[in-house]
Structure 1
Amino acid sequence: MVEAMSSQQTDTDRLPVTGEIVRGHNNDFSLGDVLGDGGYGTVFSCIYQGRHLAVKVEKYSKSMLFVEASVLKAANQRKLKHFCTMFDGGSLNKEYVFIVMTLLGKDLHRLRAEQVDRKFSMSTGLRIAIQTLEAIKELHEALFMSRDIKPGNFAPGNRLNQQHKNIFMFDFGLARRYVDKNNNLHAPRGEVGWRGTTRYGSLVAHSRQDLSRRDDVESWYYLLVEVTKGCLPWRLVTDRVAVQQAKMRARSEERASFLTGCPPCFDEILTDIDSLSFYDTPRYNSYIEKLQKVCSERGIRMNEHWDWEDESSVRNTSNLASECSARG
């Protein structure tokens, strides 16, 4: 659907605007409101045949959407739970490329920032942790790794599509297949430069070495602590070396303070993650079972409201969804 393109700037590079029609391989889509934008791309809302969708558009010369399309295609073939459905995609005269996919809610980074004290409850935090690790496991089973696990790349589904209880992973611009054409694991390439986001990058990433599945899970661990405890010790540090040193201290002399208020199994999970080698398959199920046990012990039900859900707005949006369905 979406093919690789040149990394060189073209004279025709541009992004479409609200109201414009983009033509995919199978259908035409009218671009609605802007949901988000950046230097090279914009995400638009779109309603097609009664379904609420998102259209992600990037400038032709700068786009990495072919990587995202490859990941979503692999995920959709496997019918993976935590991944958007890709409905269509295409490009226009070397101006822009786009993909049409499931519409999601606000990402977890924005949702946490909107909470009192920028903190989720333990119920919401633990359930987020379980679902995000399930998503990482699914991605790895599809033979890709993210290399940029962070709250900003996860979001709940949209209530209008009745997917609000499910957390989705999205944005795969740094994703890479970790096996060759014969499904053999790639050997580490040595120093490859920085990949990821400083706050959540693994210790291996800080060393600028090649990443593997264990590094995705280490990044998830920082997400786990942040969404349950409310913050990471290095949250205000911008210097990458200083962040690396803080992560190392969190494993030694500052480990107790790092995990203050966290369930005891967090310590066990960190120890296990740190024991993994480049070639190891992370023990996803073991970590999930530990977190599910904590939920059970605390009486947390998996279908509870998320912290960001307001019961009155839930009822109103549910009525709107029913009306949309009837009109569709």
Structure 2
Amino acid sequence: MNQNSKIEPSVPRTPKRNGDEKCEKTGGEKKKDEDKEKAEKKAEEARAQNKKAQEQDMPRFENGGETEIHTAKDSYEIITELGKGSFGAVFSVIRKSDQRPFALKCESVHMKRAMLPYEANVLLALNLLRSPHFVQLVDHGAVENRFLFVVMKCVGKNLWDIRVTQDGRKYTLSTTMKIAEQTLAALRDLHRVGYLHRDIKPPNFAAGREGEDDYHTVYVLDFGLCRRIALKGKDLRTPRKECAFHRDAVREVKLKLRTGEQLKFVLRSGCYTEMNKILVYLDQLVYTSIPDYDFVYKCIRSSSIGMKCNRNDPPDWDANAKEYRGPAYKLGEPYIVKALE
């Protein structure tokens, strides 16, 4: 037999079943796909419109444009743009009455979903606490038919940007523990006025401004995704059946960290015992639980002592300072402030 000749199968092929063949879409499925395409197109158009509105409505202080913003309380000279995002822009300004620097955050009035008024409400609620971990809202206003704005205290670099400038792109253990204490206190205070942050990550925490008394203080930033869960004179909000957040990736990381070797690698052998207590405790909480923040703090302190971290060592971003000047954690703070009861 010729080796190149084709051998025909002796058994006929099994005919394809109906399920193996590509079926044509029904009218309902086609309509569903069309509706999805329309929704995506509409969302894309909305994003383009928002971007255009932001570009048109934001302060134009260059090339002879506006150099000052006025409110009922004061006037602010625009110095430079600090940053720009999908929901607005932030500018460095000087208050004319006393020449103090502040940050001015703007948002177009033509945005489909306004975020800035909500952020302002969160900051106003936090002002009741006088917590050291939140910037003070000092002024607000609007430029008619263009943008809303709030004026806030200036802060320094965020914790992510600070970390990448350190040796080995990481914080020392002493600084890590101080950050843990301060961020715990900050989130506790936010929860005390009835809000959840829902966007916790290093870029949303920042140190104070270099050269000022609060340089060692850690601030919480960006309250655009906050959700109010407790109202004055009312119980907790009813939990939603579904949440729009994509939690699968977070859950996957969480499960990986629960394995002993992974957790020990991340937390170091000396921190493992106390930090594992925190993780085990948090896993026991449910929606209606009131977290025991003091227990978490004591675990952090115990770990710091066990690893011989000096409480007076300055943070890594101010290593030449003589001592640590960050705010101390206060035990026994009430869960909800009196103004909300």
Per-residue CA shift, 1:261-301, capped at 9, x if unaligned?
A: 45021111100011101110111111111212233344434
The one of 240, 245, 251 aligned to 1:244: 251
Question: Does the CA-based 8 Å contact 2:205-2:219 persist in structure 1?
Answer: yes
Match of 2:30? none
Q: After superposition, where does 1:122-201 map in structure 2 within 5 Å? A: 122-194=173-245
Question: Does the CA-based 8 Å contact 2:87-2:115 persist in structure 1?
Answer: no
Q: After superposition, where does 1:50-69 map in structure 2 within 5 Å? A: 50-62=99-111, 63-69=114-120
Match of 1:221? none
For residues 289 and 51 of structure 1, do their structure 2 counterparts lie closer, same or farther at Cα, with a shift above 3 Å needed? farther
Structure 2's unaligned 5+ residue stretches are 1-46, 323-341
Question: Does the CA-based 8 Å contact 1:43-1:55 persist in structure 2?
Answer: yes
SS of match in other structure, 2:317: coil
- CA shift at 1:102, angstroms? 0.9
The one of 243, 247, 251 aligned to 1:206: 247
Q: How high is the sequence identity, in percent, across the aligned residues?
A: 30
Match of 2:79? 32
For residues 67 and 303 of structure 1, do their structure 2 counterparts lie closer, same or farther at Cα, with a shift above 3 Å needed? farther
Q: After superposition, where does 1:1-328 map in structure 2 within 5 Å? A: 9=50, 13-18=56-61, 20-48=67-95, 49-62=98-111, 63-194=114-245, 206=247, 240=249, 244-252=251-259, 254-261=262-269, 263=271, 264-309=273-318, 311=320
SS of match in other structure, 1:159: coil
Question: Does the CA-based 8 Å contact 2:159-2:206 persist in structure 1?
Answer: yes
Question: Does the CA-based 8 Å contact 1:52-1:161 persist in structure 2?
Answer: no
Greater mean deviation of Cα atoms: 66-75 or 253-262: 253-262
Per-residue CA shift, 1:78-135, capped at 9, x if unaligned?
A: 2112111110011112311111111100000111122122100001111001000100
SS of match in other structure, 2:318: coil
Question: Does the CA-based 8 Å contact 1:83-1:168 persist in structure 2?
Answer: yes
Matches of 1:272 and 1:39 in 2, distance apart?
A: 37
Structure 2: which amino acid aligns with 1:206? R
Provide runs of 4+ in structure 1 moved above 6 Å.
none
Tell which has more relative contact order, 1 or 2 (C-alpha 8 A, sep 6+).
1
